[in-house]
Amino acid sequence: MLDIQTEHLENHTTRLTVTVDDERVQKAMRQAARQIAKKARIPGFRPGKAPFNVVLNLYGPDYVLNEALDKLGNDVYREALDAAELEPYAPGSLEKVDPETESGLQLTFIVPKVPTVELGDYRDIRLEQEVEEITDEMVNDAMESLREGQAVIEPVERPIAIGDQVVLEHFEIVLVPQDGDEDGDEDLDDT
């Protein structure tokens, strides 16, 4: 049986403090020791056949308890959520483990809760829509813009006229003075 205490915190979180009785902790530790014995090579014993006390002495109670908490912690967390009638919107986190309590192992979880939203009377909110008056000039401008956007540019063999698009190639000529010419007024040689 679990002893569960809930404390509501800020930011829509709840702290669950769960006390697990010693009998359940010992059972979980024995199961964890069996799993450790199956994986480990313990001298004098076949795999999985080492007794609990040998595994406990060889690996230490902290290691065995830590291995037991993998499964026990998940089971206790689910049971505590059901008992406290909490529905978290995300997985909770194990905040603290206290194995030295009088009544058993104490686990503290932080559980994120779904935020509560209170809607006001939204039916009273009205937005005035401003209808813009469309003039003939605006329609003509839009049509002209569409025509220009869809127009095809074709090369022509005539002099440039107003409204034509022109492609210019710009060349820059730099005059470098020749020997003896101080002001750079001499003609360039054809080379």
Report all structural domains of the chain as residue ranges with CATH numbers, in order of start: 2-112 (3.30.70.1050)
Is pLDDT of 179 > 80?
A: no
Separation of alpha carbons 102 and 112, rounded Å:
29
Q: Which of 60, 21, 22, 25 is nearest to 40 (CA)?
A: 60
Compute the distance between CA of residue 56 and CA of residue 51 in angstroms, rounded to an integer.
9
Residue 181: pLDDT above 70?
A: no
pLDDT of res. 112: 92
Do 6 and 15 touch, CB atoms closer than 8 A? yes
DSSP letter string, 92-147: -EEEEEETT-SSSEEEEEEEEBPPP-----GGG---PPPPPPPPHHHHHHHHHHHH
Q: What is the pLDDT of residues 18-50, one digit of tens each?
A: 988 888 888 998 999 888 888 888 888 888 888
Q: What per-residue confidence (pLDDT) applies to 186?
A: 52
Mean pLDDT, to the nearest integer, of 78-100?
A: 86
Q: Is 134 exposed, middle or buried (0-12, 13-18, 19+ CB in 10 A)?
A: exposed
DSSP label at residue 88: B
What pLDDT is attached to residue 144?
93
Q: What is the pLDDT of residues 118-155, one digit of tens each?
A: 888 888 888 888 888 999 999 999 999 999 888 888 88
